[in-house]
Chain A
Amino acid sequence: MSNLSVSNVREFNTQPEGNPLVESPLAWSYRHHPAPRGNGQHAGVVLREKALLGHLVLRGGAIALDEAVRQTLGISLPSKPNALAFDDNGERSIQWISPDEWLVIVPGGEEFALESALRKALGDAHASIVNASGGQTVLTLSGDNAREVLMKSTSYDVHPSAFPVGKGVTTVFAKATVILRRPSETHWELVVRRSFADYCYRWLLDASAEYGIDTQ
C-alpha cells in the first residue's frame, strides 16, 4: 500500500468475452413504445440511436491530457468552453465538459485499448479516466423540424447563430439533463444517461408527433 500512484489503477475490459447478447439502453423502449408508423407522409424528424459506443470521461490538467490525446487519438484537446472536436472521418470525438473534464466517444469496442493507451501516455500525470460506456447512449436528430423539436425541449438557444457546428453543451432537456451537440449542419446529437434514455426517447416521440417522426 505504500507505493500507490495514479499509474497503479486496476483497469479491466468491460466488453465481455465471446459474443453474448447485448442490448442498447433503449431496447425496452423500442419494444414497448414503437414510434407511430409513418403513413407514407414526409417525416419532419429523423431519430436514430448510435448504440453501444465507447464513452470515456477524462479529467485532469489540460496540458497533460492534450499531449496524451494527441498521441493516442490524433485530435487536439478542445480547450475552449463548449467546444467539440472530431477526427478526420468523424467517428471519434472529444468534447469540453468543464475546465478539467472532457468526454471522448469512440466506436464501440475501441474504448478499452484507448483507455490503456491513454494511461500509458499520461504516465504519472494527475488525471483520471472513467469508462462510462454502459452509462449513456447517443441519439441523433435530423430532418427539417429537428430544431423545432429541440426548441420545445430545452431552454438552451439552439439557433444557428448561438449554436454553430462544433459546439456541445450540457443542459436541461425536458426534465432531464443531456449533453447536446452539433456535429454537422444537419445533425444534432444527444448524449443521454441510461436511466433517462427511455424518458428522453418517449419525450422525443411525443414532441415530434406533429411533424411526423421516423425511427429505425
Chain B
Amino acid sequence: MTVRQIAEILDAEILCCEELADSVNIHSACGSDMMSDVLAYVKDQGMLLTGLVNPQVVRTAEMMDMCCVAFVRGKRPDAAIIQLAQSKNIILLTTQERMYPACGKLYKAGLDAGKPI
C-alpha cells in the first residue's frame, strides 16, 4: 500500500517528503523503540513505527533501506530530524495512535511483518 494510504489508516500527519507519499509502496513494516533490535532483527521491511525520537531513528531507517518512519503516541521530531529525513527521501509521519493499535491497524489492512532473519 502507498504511504498515503498508511497515513490515512493511522490518521497521521505527513511531516516531510509528501510528494513521495503516492508513489512509494510499502509491503511490510516493523515496530520498535529499540534501534538495536531494528538493526539486528529486521529485513526487507519498508517502514518503521516507533515512539523514539532522535536522529538515529532516521539513520537506522536509512541503513535498513526503509522509506518511511511513523512516530506513534503523538511524538513529533524537531526540524533537524525532519531535515535529515528529507535529505534521505525518508517520509516521516506522526500519529496519535499508540504502538499496538497502530501496528494492528496496518497489519489488519494487509501490511505484513516481512521475512524473519
Question: Are A and B subunits of one complex?
Answer: no
B interface residues (Cβ-Cβ under 8 A, vs A): none
